[in-house]
Amino acid sequence: MLGLVLLAFWALAVVVSGTKIFPSPMDVVRGLLELARRKLLWAYMGDSLFRVACGYLAAVAIGIPVGLAMGWWSSLARAANPVIQMLRPISPLAWMPLAVIWFGVSNLAPIFLIFLASVFPIIVATMNGVRNVPPMYVQAGRNFGLSTRALITRVLFPAILPRILVGLRIAFGVAWLVLVAAEMIAVDSGLGYLIIDARNAGKRYDLVVGGMLLIGLLGLILDTLIRRAETLRAVRWAFHE
Amino acid sequence: MKVHFDSIGMRFGGVRVLDDINLSVNAGEFVCILGPSGCGKSTLLNIVGGFVTPTEGRVTIDGEPVTGPDPRRIFVFQERGVFPWLTVEENIGFGLFRQKDDEKRARIARYVQLVGLQGFERSYPRELSGGMKQRLEVARALAVDPDVLYLDEPFGALDSITRLQMRRELLRIWQAERKTILFVTHDIEESVQLADRVVVLSARPGRVRRVVDVNLAHPRDLSDPRYIALRDEIFGEIGLAHQI
Amino acid sequence: MLGIAVAVAAWQLAVAASPRTLVPTPWQTLRAIGELAEKGLLVRYVVASLFRVTWGYLAAVAVAVPAGVTLGLSRRGDSAVNPILQILRPISPLAWIPIGILWFGVGDAAAIFLIFLASVLPLTTATVEAVHNLEGVHLAAGRNFGLSHAELVRSVVVPGILPQLIVAMRITLGIAWLVVVAAEMIAVNSGLGFLIVDARNAGNRYDLVVAGMVLIGLIGIGLDLLMRRLERLPSVRWGYAAE
């Protein structure tokens, strides 16, 4: 409903301003159809999703265990935290030239950047989660004779899962942002590339806006999926009072 | 003699919180440790529970020194100790990971029954009232069949009506299961209603001021002159006249 | 401190152990920063980046906080505007680069616009959420004492949301800093992001690349510390007592 109002407003604004450059909604649809005919639409979306999936999942697989360990052993946190705090504020995109030296112009470079962008928020969220677990949960676990391993899997992990999920969502937002930038700079496929290429090669603003809409749409879908995870049985206790 | 405190002393930094605590608790006995806020009574319970190492003295249980927490002795926090991510039956089954499945199911069913949580087996703690959460935590403790229960102001967060019901429940369970119970409270009435013996601690540093035997049979009549006399004796010991 | 020393030593060792690497040593990086300072580029680029972040971010705060408070207090306004925010939010702000250049040309204004976009949406959403999280009794108490709407906002709503708002402001500033680097890599020809791309493209000067990264990191830490200082102000510290 509101979407229709916005579309109408957009179409009207284009007509009234008499712009020759900014596309109308119909131009954008036509542009996207053209991309689909040239078989680029699905290829670009697939490339972008593949990169974000690899980088992000690697960050999840490494960030959660590292965060757990740093939350649990405070000496480890004291040693590693300054390094993390030092690396974290370096915009992941600033690593681009180094990524290109290390990985060449390939899928690995953007994947590495996405990994860097998402791993730190995940580590920090997990570590803070462990530190904020009420001590009596851990005491109760010990009292029932749990081994350290069982304590981590049966008490610590479920207790911090809701916080981890929140961290995962924040990390995804950053990963998505970095994906687009990395594709604009480092590779020649994907939605970020589509946007920058459409502008540079012939000022095809219909494709620019089409690319933006696709990025927004995919981002919205993925964000919704992560939000859906917050209603899972294992974490619902923390989100719904 | 089940639990023996041998000259327990505790300092946190320069602050002495417990001083020369000597106490013996018999098997099956219900002992209340009573004292004002900050007298170190929770610390004492954490020491016997194995969560805190005393700076002086030691605790022995069945002749063995306490070196850490042990599933034969379960600590019950205020209802905050139940795991919010587990259902009622999962909470009760939490400590039963060494049991076979059918044994585990049987025990869960038995303790759901004992604490009166039938119909709530699949509920999560957030769906329970404070009193129900407290009963759940007691059931979780009892399910592993410990010899001793440590209760740290377990009913402190409940409203006064629920608190009275919970005391009755606890006595019923204690009589059915015959556990040794160490119960920390700052509520004088509560201690006299529940305990075989009340150990009165002084303010910081906590020392044993007095041990009062409560030789009244259960159920206790709260208007019985002997109950009132014992209660007023403790009020006097703590330095309060029992009037407003 | 020790952790950082070990990390720098590890960096040095890693470079020494791989003789043909293009990655500079810590010392070469330091010298590169010195070179930038000599040429007068250090101050110019740092100022250019900070200038863009400051204006884009402050404009976003100035728009987002009043807008968020208004939306948070008005159920109808929120349900009208929230869907728009939710549609715009997942569009990576960098995807707006061509549009930014189209509207503002290649220059500071385009970069500021991108930073504004990157900050305004999360800040508005966070403000609305903070208003929704206000204790109902505080609002009721304020009304009970006969406060007008404006007074209620000034003396109950704003102080009440401040702790949550400052955390959101800190996180958003981190994102704004990330976006300025990306925007400078693509859309303008000055600033630390430009330095990195330019150093690589013009002669593979990887010492300057890493120097740029170090500067970006240091300024990022500085901005983060600045915002954390705000979290220690007495008027917001009550909000974090539980952590």
For C106-159, what is each residue's pLDDT tens digit? 788 888 999 999 899 889 988 988 888 887 777 778 777 777 778 888 888 888
Instruction: Report if residue C90 sits inside a domain.
Output: yes
Which of C128, C104, C99 minimizes the C-alpha distance to C55?
A: C104
- What is the per-residue pLDDT across B87-119, written as a single tens digit (0 to 9) for each? 899 999 898 888 888 988 988 998 888 888 888
Please tell me which residue, C150 or B133, carries the higher pLDDT value: B133
Predicted pLDDT of residue C10 = 81
Instruction: Report if residue C10 sits inside a domain.
Output: no
With a cut of 50, say whether residue C206 has pLDDT above it.
Answer: yes
With a cut of 60, say whether residue C62 has pLDDT above it.
Answer: yes
Structural domain boundaries, residue C74: 25-242
Give the ipTM of the model, two decimals please.
0.80
Quote the CA–CA distance of A73 and C212 in Å, as a whole number: 34
* CB-count exposure of residue B154 (10 Å: 0-12, 13-18, 19+): buried
Quote the CA–CA distance of A29 and A7 in Å, as a whole number: 12
Mean pLDDT, chain B, integer: 86
Which residue from B minimizes the CA distance to A142?
B69
Whether A114 contacts A59, CB under 8 Å: yes
- Hey, which bits of C39-164 come out as E strands? none
Strand B180-185 versus strand B30-34 pairing type? parallel
* CB-count exposure of residue A108 (10 Å: 0-12, 13-18, 19+): middle
Predicted pLDDT of residue C243 = 41
- Mean pLDDT computed over C173-182: 88
With a cut of 70, say whether residue B242 has pLDDT above it.
Answer: no
- Mean pLDDT computed over B216-234: 85
Which residue from A minimizes the CA distance to C223?
A89
Whether A72 contacts A97, CB under 8 Å: no
Predicted pLDDT of residue B223 = 85
Determine the length of chain A.
Answer: 241
In chain C, the number of structural domains is: 1
The edge-to-edge listing of strands for the beta sheet with B197-201 is B73-76, B148-152, B180-185, B30-34, B197-201, B208-213
Question: Do chains B and C touch, with touching meaning 3 or more CB–CB pairs less than 8 Å apart?
Answer: no
Determine the length of chain C.
Answer: 243
Contact C196 A78 (CB under 8 A): no
Which of A171, A170, A189 minimizes the C-alpha distance to A180?
A: A189
Which residue from A minimizes the CA distance to B143?
A144
**CA-to-CA separations, B20 to B57, B183, B239, in angstroms, rounded:** 8, 20, 22
Touching subunits for chain A (3+ Cβ pairs under 8 A): B, C
3-state secondary structure of A19: coil
B17 sits in which H/E element: strand B15-25
Predicted pLDDT of residue A114 = 93
Predicted pLDDT of residue A118 = 92
Quote the CA–CA distance of B167 and B174 in Å, as a whole number: 10
| CATH number of the domain encompassing residue C160 | 1.10.3720.10
Contact C178 A174 (CB under 8 A): yes
With a cut of 60, say whether residue B61 has pLDDT above it.
Answer: yes
* CB-count exposure of residue B29 (10 Å: 0-12, 13-18, 19+): middle
Please tell me which residue, B75 or B236, carries the higher pLDDT value: B75
Considering the domain A26-235, what is its CATH architecture?
A: Orthogonal Bundle (1.10)
Quote the CA–CA distance of C54 and C56 in Å, as a whole number: 6
pTM of the model: 0.81
Instruction: Report if residue C2 sits inside a domain.
Output: no
Amino acid at B169: E
With a cut of 70, say whether residue B133 has pLDDT above it.
Answer: yes
Ordered per-residue pLDDT tens for chain A, 241 residues: 666 777 778 778 877 777 777 787 778 888 888 888 888 888 888 999 999 999 999 999 999 999 999 988 888 888 888 788 778 878 888 888 888 888 877 788 889 999 999 999 899 899 988 988 888 899 999 999 898 889 988 999 899 988 888 889 889 988 988 888 888 887 888 888 888 888 888 778 888 888 888 888 888 888 888 888 888 777 777 775 5
Window A:111-150, CB contacts with C under 8 Å = 117, 132
